[in-house]
Structure 1
Amino acid sequence: MGSEATAHQAPADGGESPWPEESQLTFLTAHASRLVASGIGLDPSYYDSLQPTQVQLQHRPGAGVSALYSLRDGSGFVGLTTERLPESDAYTQLRIPGWELAPVGYAPLTVTVWRHPDDPRLPGLATAAVPERAESALGQGDVLTRLETVAYRPLRRAVLRATFSTRPPAVVERVVYLKVMRPDQADALVERSRLLAEAGLPVPPVLAHHHDGVAAFAEVPGSSLSRLIMDDGAASLDPRDLIRLLDRLPSAVVDLPVRAAWADRADRYAEAARAALPDYSRRITELEEGVRTCLAEADRGPVVPTHGDFYEANLMMEGTRIVGLLDVDNVGPGRRADDYACLLGHVAVLPTVDERYQLIDTALEHFGAAFTRDEDPRAVWGSAAGVALSLIAGARAPGLEEDVWAPAAVGRLEAAEALLARAKR
């Protein structure tokens, strides 16, 4: 069954308004069993015994809430979203006029339910995530020996790591990363990858590209920059190597579509942060306003080729030598200060991911001194605070109680505030 009534439509007749996204988030979490059971056609008597486990949660302000659940009986995964989707027989759409938590006076909510891997926006996932299909479509005659999901954001993208082996007697293994995106976005990613490869950037080679949105990339050797940051605060790395890497981005990048910098979307990320940490709403709002004011007063520099997602996980190293530049989805025109800020903002929150990151101040000073030599420090540090702000809501870990993940979210808020303080020095 389908419905166009969603949390993002215009107010319904009679003055009804869309559900607040915080209410959507609470509703999906509280009624997961009933939504999952109804969506996959189970008898209502099975609601209470289903008890699905949330393994993924994504709140995109302005777009809705999505989640992925694992079924207790081992029969797979089920996705839910409040994002607006067209009617289709490929999935179920539940119109929610008002269960216990439905706000009074709000328009009906539509929750779309599907069985993984039949993601409504990622048709290629059904190929990449099913071993037999992945081997047939992407194995080039080799045998698939291992397939694991590295990342999955419902309706957005997925990354899988596939290990293929040649057939006996000469058995050789190779690792391929399968990136699943909406088909038009996958086309753009492959175009960017080839553009950078032709310019001599160390991007993963494109091995295959399918019309359904699956692109296959060769594995890049080495380990991420995060290892150096953990070991010595990256003091052994010359930050000018990072600057020179960005200098090599081809001029044709400025002709690609523009994508707003992370800090330029501070209002949306602050909304998500307030939903995650309502008790810290005032501080989050002050941070949001501080980022906006700081950047308005800063010299953000000219528009140049940028990576758009330039941080430690996307920089592969062999010792102190850069050997790989990953995730070029967001390559396009922007400001150099925002690329620098992306790295600084991510580095600042690393202790909330792993307590072994003890030398973060060393890394921030090390990178920051080089990055602000030719850029306005207010632009670099203010934008970095906006990046850290964008990471607060992401600390909410599926399946964990709030007292487990909330300290990490608060730690990210504190890191963002400290970055903004650097901008005001």
Structure 2
Amino acid sequence: MSSLNGPPAAPRAAPALGRTQQEIAQLDFLQSDQVHPIIAAAVLPQDLGTPQITMEALQHRPGAGVTGIYRVLGREDLYAGVSTERIGNDPAQVHRAETEHGPLSIWVHPQDPALPGLPLATDPTRVAATWGRGAQLTSLETISYRPLRRAVIAADFSDGRRLYLKVLRGSRAADLYARHRLLLDAGLPAPVPVSEPIHDVVALQQGTGYSLAEHFLADGAAAVRPQDFLELLDAMPAEVMALPARDAWTDRLSAYASAAVSALPEAEHRIRRLEEEVLAALPATDRGAVVPTHGDFYEANLLMDGPRISCLLDVDSLGPGHRVDDLACFLGHLAVLPAVDSRYLHAPAAFDRFTRAFAGGVDPEGLRIRSASVALSLVSGARDARRPGWQAQADHRLRCAEVLLGLTPAAGDLPSWPAAL
């Protein structure tokens, strides 16, 4: 049985261009051995000697700060969170340390100061007692963890059930529960909550089907109809319009560009040029009407039963927005799939087919520019402290964005925009 070990997280941030250089220095500091004595002093008794400390993940949110997860191996194996972000209310479980790069907040996992439900969701005994219904817990595994933001834990039980425990910041669990009920009541396929939230944790039944990504990997989703995804968005209930609106990818472009610069400082000129080109081109495009949107609409959040959509995942960003942004999210992620895994040989052909279908209902030029913006937002997500050579993958993602924007010619596994659009 495994528990939460803090896998890598992708950045989500608000713009903060003036702090880029400071945060690059903080990134370098948190990735260096210099931070290790500070971590050891905060989380271990003084008589345990020198522990072995390794970085497990790093998260950068431009304008907010940098957060790392570290494995600390001394007499016992534990994980520590270290962040330059401001953490309010001075939680008792958080240690403070002053450094030349600013103050640090340090905690021992799972006592994440912003996720009060994490100790519950990662404790096998408590998970079994809370959601087991008399069955034994056979596995408890981290699916994703964004320190100070959210976590998803998969819990398997001896009766064959798998639940996903979504751990959210204070007061947000009730909102997520309501979003799931809203979609289900409208007849849309979404994971079913097993109960109302418990200690800021929403427990969801496993959705049926397999990720759309598997179809793209196998044959470019040749049997899947692009029109089905447009019809799914059309079926969003009108009540979604009453939810709070959230920024789309292009609205946070400057933050994502800064995060990309922090990941690939040697490519700053290319990144800033791409940012400028997008910002200059957007005003001439038609964003379309405000409609119900998913907000994070791409292959990882869509399950398929054969060629048909069987479940819509991650509805946290559900709300009013623009159809072109949902479709650009889909295409931007599809464009970079070969940069994620070289086995996505059919992704360029799939990109061409889905782009032609999606462009029929929105401004094609706006869709192209926003798709490039999404691809740029994914550059810093390639950062993985445990994997050598991640910079090459980040550069590959950047080149995908450049091709979509016409700043470099298409070649090989770089999807290109259909010439007829």
Q: TM-score, normalised by structure 1?
A: 0.88
Q: 1:270: which partner in 2?
A: 257
Secondary structure in 1 matching 2:167: strand
Q: Which residue of 1 aligns with 2:12?
A: none
Structure 1 runs of 4+ aligned residues shifted over 3 Å read: 422-425
Q: Are 2:147 and 1:154 equivalent residues in the alignment?
A: yes
Distance 2:80 2:339 in 1: 29
Structure 1 counterpart SS, 2:107: strand
Equivalent residue runs for 1:274-285 within 5 Å:
274-285=261-272
C-alpha distance in 2 between matches for 1:147 and 1:20: 38
Partner of 1:409: 394
Q: 1:8 maps to what in 2?
A: none
Q: Which has the higher contact order (CA 8 A, sep 6+)?
A: 2
Q: Decide which of 397, 403, 420 is 1:418's aligned counterpart.
A: 403
Moved more, 67-76 or 142-151: 67-76
Distance 1:262 1:44 in 2: 49
Q: Secondary structure at the match of 2:269?
A: helix
Match of 1:164 among 152, 157, 163: 157
> What does residue 29 of structure 1 align with?
31
Cα RMSD (Å)? 1.8
Provide the C-alpha distance between the structure 2 equivalents of 1:36 and 1:44, rounded to a whole number of angstroms.
15
Q: How far is the alpha carbon of 1:142 from its aligned partner?
A: 2.1
Residues of 2 paired with 1:237 and 1:125: CA distance? 38
Decide which of 359, 369, 386 is 1:372's aligned counterpart: 359
Q: Give the C-alpha shift of residue 136 in structure 1.
A: 1.5
> What displacement does 1:45 show?
8.5
Q: Deviations over 1:386-419 (max 9, x none)?
A: 1111110110102334xx1000000000011112
SS in 1 for 2:252: helix
- Within the alignment, does 1:256 sit opposite 2:249 as a pair? no
**2:239 is equivalent to residue 246 of structure 1:** no
For 2:277 and 2:220, the matched residues in 1 are separated by: 28
Aligned to 1:206: 193
Separation in 2, partners of 1:347, 1:371: 13
Residue 163 of structure 2 is aligned with which of 176, 179, 187?
A: 176
What is the aligned partner in structure 2 of residue 55 from structure 1?
A: 56
Asked whether 1:88 is paired with 2:91, we answer yes
**What are the superposed Cα offsets for residues 83-133 of structure 1, whole Å, 9 maximum, x if unpaired?**
00122322101122x3xxx4xxxxxx1100000001000010000011111
Q: SS where residue 287 of structure 2 aligns?
A: coil
Counterpart of 1:405, as a letter, is W
Alignment of 1:382-397 (within 5 A): 382-397=369-384
| Structure 1: distance between partners of 2:193 and 2:107 | 30
When residues 199 and 298 of structure 1 are mapped into structure 2, their CA distance, relative to the original with a 3 A threshold, is same
Q: Distance in 1 between matches of 2:387 and 2:20?
A: 28
Structure 1 CA distance for aligned equivalents of residues 46 and 30 of structure 2: 19
Correspondence list, 1:227-242, <5 A: 227-242=214-229
Indicate conservation of the 8 Å contact 2:20/2:258, yes or no: no
* Inter-partner Cα distance in structure 2 for 1:88 and 1:124: 14
- 70-79 or 352-361, which deviates more: 70-79
Please give the per-residue CA displacement for 1:112-169, whole angstroms capped at 9, x wherever unaligned. 000000100001000001111111222233221110001111011111110112xxxx
> What's the counterpart of residue 128 of structure 2?
135
Q: Distance in 2 between matches of 1:193 and 1:35?
A: 42
Q: Conserved in 1, the CA contact under 8 Å of 2:245 and 2:321?
A: yes
1:70 is matched with 71
Distance apart, 1:51 and its partner CA: 3.3
Q: Distance in 1 between matches of 2:202 and 2:194?
A: 8
| Counterpart contact for 2:91–2:113, Cα < 8 Å | no
Q: Equivalent pairs: percent with the same residue?
A: 44
Q: Is the 8 A contact 1:183 1:211 kept in 2?
A: no
Instruction: Show structure 2 runs of 5+ residues with no match.
Output: 1-18, 407-416
1:126 paired to 2:119? yes
- Which residue of 1 is the match for residue 173 of structure 2? 186
Q: 1:361-392: per-residue Cα shift (whole Å, max 9, x none)?
A: 11111110011011111111111111111110
Amino acid across the alignment from 1:144: L
Structure 1: state its 5+ residue gaps.
Answer: 1-16, 103-108, 166-171
Hey, what's the Cα distance between the residues in 1 that align with 2:103 and 2:21? Answer: 10
Q: Which residue of 1 aligns with 2:5?
A: none
Count of aligned pairs between the two proteins: 389
The aligned counterpart of 2:203 is 216
SS in 1 for 2:218: helix
Q: Could you tell me which amino acid in structure 1 is paired with residue 91 of structure 2?
A: S
> Are the counterparts in 2 of residues 377 and 423 from structure 1 also a CA contact under 8 Å?
no
Task: Please give the secondary structure, in 1, of the residue aligned with 2:296.
Answer: coil
Whole-angstrom CA distance in 2 between matches of 1:193 and 1:314: 14
> How far apart, CA to CA, are the structure 2 residues paired with 1:352 and 1:115?
34
Q: Secondary structure at the match of 2:31?
A: helix
Query: How high is the TM-score relative to the length of structure 2?
Result: 0.89
Equivalent position of 2:292 in the other structure: 305
- State the AA in 2 paired with 1:62: G
